[in-house]
Structures are given as C-alpha cells and as structure tokens.
C-alpha cells in the first residue's frame, strides 16, 4: 500500500513538473545556487529573485524531482555544474543546492552522504549510484519514482530520464542514499 502511494505521489510530481517546469529547450533557465539566508540568487544575467529555502530538515522530494526534470535537455559537459552544461555529479549537486542541501562535487564523496536505502525502499529524490568506468561509484542520478531516474549521462549528451531496470543500469547499480538537510 505504501509503495502504491509513493508511486502515485511520484507520478503526480512528474505531471506537475511537466506542466510547470521550465524546459531547457524552451529557453527557460533555472537560476543557479540559492544564497544563504534567502539572499539574492545569481543567474546568467545577474541577481535574480530571492531564493526561499524551506526550514524543514527533510528535502521536499516532489520539488526536488521537479527541479531535476526541468533540466531535461541540458547538454552534458565534463566538469559542468550549471544549466549551461552538467556532468552527473554537477547535476545532482546543482539540483540539491536549489533545495538548500550542499553536496560534495565528486561522485565518490556524494556516495558517502546520507543514509543507505534498500532497493525496495527507494523514493523520489534519492541519489542512485552506479559503477560505469571504474570500480566503485562513478556515476550518480536522482530517483524520480517507480523504476525511473534522471541524470546527466555522457553517452547521449543531455540530461534525461531512464529506467533502472534496463540491463545496462541494473547491472551497474551500486546502491542509493537518502540525503537530508543538515
């Protein structure tokens, strides 16, 4: 029953994100990292509106997934950590920062954050880790619910949604972490 409710919540989040999110292909550019204490946000064209960071210690998984999905289509860029281009850990770091959570820059360091999550307990917003080019965690993504995740893969060149159950990702899956606000 809980799993069905979580899946329904994730689908609702996807629908809201699709209807309200700024897609990179439409020219909408999410503002970069919020400043502490809700100060001005610096964007590509200078200061933007004040960033509201929820006071809760729990990350709003629906808002976080909405932010991640709004970045679909942004090109892959090695070392990228902005809407101009992302690599995998730059993408997760950027998305979490938009919701008041500072993540380390490197995949291996992000793997050390949060608490481990069993595969049957995955929720939207959890960080998913894979081994792709070397032993240990070398790729990171954000769970969006059900069997899907969003990430910045280098193979296709843009932020996109994929299924965890595909053979490529299922055989490379290392684990997941749930990150809370400090």
List the catalytic residue out of 93, 98, 139, 178: 139
**DSSP E strand stretches across the chain:** 40-43, 46-50, 81-82, 85-86, 115-117, 127-130, 139-145, 148-151, 160-163, 173-178
Residues 164, 168, 171, 176, CA torsion sign: negative
DSSP per-residue string spanning 54-87: -SSSS--HHHHHHHHHHTTTPBB-TT-EETTEE-
List the catalytic residue out of 41, 74, 88, 107: 88
List the catalytic residue out of 151, 164, 176, 177: 151
23 assigned to active site: no
Q: How far is 138 from 132, CA to CA, in rounded Å?
A: 6
The helix (H) or strand (E) run that includes residue 5 is helix 2-20
CA 155 to chain centroid: 18
137-160 in b/e burial notation, b at 16+ Cβ within 10 A? Answer: bbbbbbbbbbebbbbbbeeeebbb
99 assigned to active site: no
Provide the annotated active-site residues. 88, 139, 151
């Amino acid at each position: 029953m809980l799993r069905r409710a979580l899946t329904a919540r994730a689908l609702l989040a996807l629908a809201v994100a699709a209807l309200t999110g700024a897609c990179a292909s439409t020219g909408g550019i999410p503002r970069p990292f919020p400043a502490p204490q809700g100060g001005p946000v610096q964007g590509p064209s200078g200061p933007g509106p004040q960033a509201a960071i929820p006071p809760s210690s729990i990350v709003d998984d629906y808002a976080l997934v909405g932010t991640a999905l709004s970045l679909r289509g942004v090109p892959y860029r090695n070392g990228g950590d902005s809407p101009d281009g992302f690599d995998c850990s730059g993408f997760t770091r950027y998305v979490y920062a938009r919701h008041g959570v500072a993540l380390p820059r490197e995949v291996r360091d992000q793997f050390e954050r949060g608490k481990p999550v069993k595969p049957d307990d995955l929720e939207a917003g959890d960080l998913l880790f894979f081994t792709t080019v070397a032993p240990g965690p070398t790729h990171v993504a954000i769970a969006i619910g059900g069997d899907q995740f969003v990430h910045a893969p280098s193979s296709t060149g843009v932020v996109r949604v994929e299924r965890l159950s595909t053979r490529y990702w299922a055989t490379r899956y290392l684990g997941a972490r749930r990150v809370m606000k400090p």
